[in-house]
Amino acid sequence: MLSVDPILHTSVLSLNAIGISFHADESLAIFMLKQLDEYKDAEVIRTRDPEVIAKGDVVVDVGAVYDPARNLFDHHQREFTETFSPKHTVTKLSSAGLVYKHFGKSVICKVLGWEESDHRLDIVYNKVYTDLVEGFDAIDNGVSQYPASLAPAYINKTGISARVARLQPAWNETEHLPIDELFENAIRITGEEFIAAVTYVGKSWLPARDIVLNAVKSRFDVDPSGRIICLETFCPWKEHLYLIEQELGLAENELPLYMLYPDTAAQWRIQAVPISPDSFSSRKALPEQWRVSFFLFIHVFHRCYLILIAIRVFAMMISRPCAAFLDARSCMPLASLAATRTR
């Protein structure tokens, strides 16, 4: 039996009372637990009744106790300070983070079909927390992404917490689905987010990391300076490069400057490494004359390409008998063709 508190800051509620709400963090916590064999068939009871809570096999988001040895995972007690790791000093855990911290590796293995001895597991475990679960924790605990003195440039209410909130009955809605059914929908959509994140990290992000890591390790085979990296195949590389540099402890005078990689047309490209993954400034830009020549080449190539297309179209038109009178679409005057396209 799983016990979960649907309202986090209200103390007077009865079991499954109309108007009880739920949040994204306990929705995800329940989803993760239900992926495990020992809890997949567990009954979910939403309550604050101490007697019911005491009988729970796992208690999530209620009870004012955090004790993983007894499977008690609440974070609302005043003295609670738990974070995911020493690297995460700002965001305290919500029920999602607590369950992920203690069960996340097992859940990831279920999703990806891995054994818990897999050497890749720690990387995926930490990446999924940083990319996904920490957002659940931060929002539930009121941690802002930016200083309060900065006003957001726009409003974004497409995030998972906002989507879960919209599942709940409106304040003036008198008829709606049973609250437990709505909560099941919340579990489903948070679970979809989790599955998508784990699948991406394990099956797309991680293979790209391996390609970049191998290229960094063999960089001296490319150039004695070690500052030119050559990828065996194209993959997203910027984020991986910066993380690997930190892991290897490269000094500033050892940081790679250029990345070589083949594109989808089997042509080789060179790109200056930016000073940060999102920056438009490079650590060492390519020579100006190279860049001017390159853009001039692209400009000339584009103009020639358009001319070739025009010549080909003209050749096709004159190679056919003038069947415009019989088939208006096979040899149509340009003005008529333009009119047809704009209808």
Q: What is the DSSP letter of 78?
A: T
For residues 333 and 30, give the distance between their C-alpha atoms in angstroms, rounded to a whole number: 66
How many Cα atoms occupy the beta-carbon half-sphere of 100 within 13 Å? 33
CB atoms within 10 A of CB 45: 18
pTM of the complete model:
0.78
Pairing relationship of beta strands 258-262 and 2-4 according to DSSP bridges: unpaired
The predicted pLDDT at position 313 comes to 67
Beta strands in 236-275 (DSSP E): 258-262, 268-272
The predicted pLDDT at position 329 comes to 40
The predicted pLDDT at position 171 comes to 84
Work out the widest C-alpha separation in the chain, in whole angstroms: 90
Given a contact cutoff of 8 angstroms between Cβ atoms, the answer to whether 97 and 133 are in contact is yes
For residues 219 and 230, give the distance between their C-alpha atoms in angstroms, rounded to a whole number: 7
Q: What is the DSSP letter of 74?
A: -
For residues 37 and 325, give the distance between their C-alpha atoms in angstroms, rounded to a whole number: 73
- Block means of pLDDT (10 residues each) for the chain, 343 residues, are 44 32 92 93 85 86 92 93 94 96 98 97 97 97 89 89 92 83 94 98 97 96 95 94 95 95 86 90 86 57 66 66 43 38 40
The predicted pLDDT at position 49 comes to 83
Given a contact cutoff of 8 angstroms between Cβ atoms, the answer to whether 59 and 72 are in contact is yes
Given a contact cutoff of 8 angstroms between Cβ atoms, the answer to whether 33 and 77 are in contact is no
The predicted pLDDT at position 317 comes to 64
For residues 188 and 28, give the distance between their C-alpha atoms in angstroms, rounded to a whole number: 8
Cα 302 from chain centroid? 36
Quickly count helices (H) and strands (E) in the chain.
12, 8
C-alpha pair distances (Å), 111 with each of 105, 188, 276, 341: 10, 15, 32, 49
Per-residue tokens: 187: 């579990």
Q: Which of 98, 104, 198 is nearest to 141 (CA)?
A: 98
Mapped onto helix, strand or coil, the DSSP state of residue 328 is coil
DSSP string, 124-142: HHHHHIIIIIHHHHHHHTT
